[in-house]
Amino acid sequence: MKYSSIKGMSDIMPSEISAWQKLESTALEVFGLYGYLEIRTPIVEKTDLFVRGIGSNTMVVEKEMYSFKDISDDMLSLRPEGTASVIRAYIESGAYQAEGIAKYVYIGPMFRRERPQKGRYRQFHQIGVEAIGLSDPLIDAEQIAMGDFFFKKLGLSDFTTEINSLGCKKCRPEYNKVFGEFLKTKHARLCADCQRRILTNPLRAFDCKNPDCIAAIKEAPLIGSHLCKECSDHFLSVQKRLNQLGTKFVVNHKIVRGLDYYMRTAFEYTTDKLGSQNAIAGGGRYDGLVHDLGGPNLPGVGFAIGMERVIMLMQASNLAAAAESDMVFFALLGETAREKAIPVINSLRQDGIKIELDYDGHSLKSQMRRADKMAAHTVVIIGDEEVAKGKAVIRNMRTKEQEEVNIGDLARHFVRIEV
């Protein structure tokens, strides 16, 4: 039986890993500059946490969660996103009593049973940030600017930072009604999902990728002119701060988020280089969520980056090249050579030099082939002849130059090339 991975879930092989590591280390470094600390939560939670947190009327909760009963009949789900878990951990740990304000960054796999296509998977990875306890629009703007800076720091420039306000409990229902009425006039032109949305959650129609729906709602009334005074002031203030931070953005009133908890600020980073799955990151403000999940009435704002999509964009911009190998290969011929080499290799590795060697007594030719395959920059050859002289041959694989050194001097030699 030959097994394959589950549809929509992929392996990340060593040949691809350097882009992932770069993304992760850059995120921890950049977000650390703004005070975000790493948090790690389990990938399985009670299903109810997501139903409450994300909203029962959302696609994610309705159709896309991997949920199952465990042996003691608890209903559990693989996390489809990170925010609900992070808020749960914040409340459960009592961090809100000790710290009040908290800034977290998380990295990890998320699971949604979507229809797989380019840029959309069933297991995908996100880097996310959450700032809890802050209501001033400065934090919204700072987070948006931080995301923008993060992408630039990776070398990306093919993206647009788009912002919107989704209103609040006071003004959004009013707008929903107006927009719902508008959708009714287009009923016949809408897909079945959007027809259903008229009753459940009209705003979601803006998320629909169906070209007929996009055309039908092109002239729809927009939320921008239906915001209450507080929401409008908040939104203007976010824009003022973004200008002070020097972050370029566009206002797009058609940005709605797929998760119910967002209110006021919503934002996305989009690109035209990836086809229809064009959002590389998105987030917004979620002031009611901490309370809804059993905590105090504290505001919050956060966003999540889709790592697969960012890596695709890095590849499209030639920024995802594999790091040059820094491996040294020891080609050893015969038992005496091994005996001499083993302690040298051991101490070199402990000095921080990456070494691979032949374990199986292959011919020199086949050992050199392996060294080539792993792109070793240097090969150390110790054969019978060398052993007899107490020497090793050091071959520079790029220039093909060789030099003979005393086995006892190998450590010094590598420490020398390291500096």
Does 126 participate in binding ligand AMP (rule CB under 6 A)? yes
Q: Kindly report the CA angle at 173 between 91 and 236, in degrees rounded to 5?
A: 75
Q: Kindly report the CA angle at 107 between 102 and 108, in degrees rounded to 5?
A: 135
How many beta carbons lie within 10 A of that of residue 227, not counting itself?
Answer: 24
Stretch that binds ligand AMP, among 215-223, 304-312, 318-326, 398-406 (CB under 6 A): 304-312
- Give the x/- contact pattern for ligand AMP in 206-245, rule: CB under 6 A: ----------------------------------------
Please pick, from the candidates 31, 50, 106, 121, the single residue that binds ligand AMP as defined by CB under 6 A.
121
Please pick, from the candidates 16, 24, 114, 212, the single residue that binds ligand AMP as defined by CB under 6 A.
114
Nearer to ligand AMP, 281 or 337 (CB): 281
The least CB distance from residue 365 to ligand AMP, in Å, is 45
Does 55 participate in binding ligand AMP (rule CB under 6 A)? no
The least CB distance from residue 262 to ligand AMP, in Å, is 9
Nearest to 105 by CA among 18, 214, 16, 27: 27
Nearer to ligand AMP, 87 or 345 (CB): 87
Size of interface with ligand AMP, in residues (CB under 6 A): 18
SS percent in the chain: helix, strand, coil, step 5: 45, 20, 35
Beta strands 67-69 and 160-165 are unpaired
Residue type, 181: E
Nearer to ligand AMP, 303 or 414 (CB): 303
Please pick, from the candidates 22, 120, 189, 413, the single residue that binds ligand AMP as defined by CB under 6 A.
120
The least CB distance from residue 308 to ligand AMP, in Å, is 5
Nearest to 120 by CA among 364, 390, 308, 371: 308
Does 282 participate in binding ligand AMP (rule CB under 6 A)? yes
Please pick, from the candidates 30, 50, 52, 81, the single residue that binds ligand AMP as defined by CB under 6 A.
81
Handedness of CA 72, 83, 66, 55 (dihedral sign): positive
Name the closest residue to ligand AMP (Cβ). Answer: 306
Number of alpha carbons in the 13 Å side-chain half-sphere of residue 356: 16
Q: How far apart are CA 360 and CA 374, in angstroms?
A: 17
Q: How far apart are CA 362 and CA 378, in angstroms?
A: 18
Interface with ligand AMP by CB under 6 A: which residues?
A: 81, 112, 114, 119-121, 124, 126, 257-258, 279-282, 304, 306, 308-309
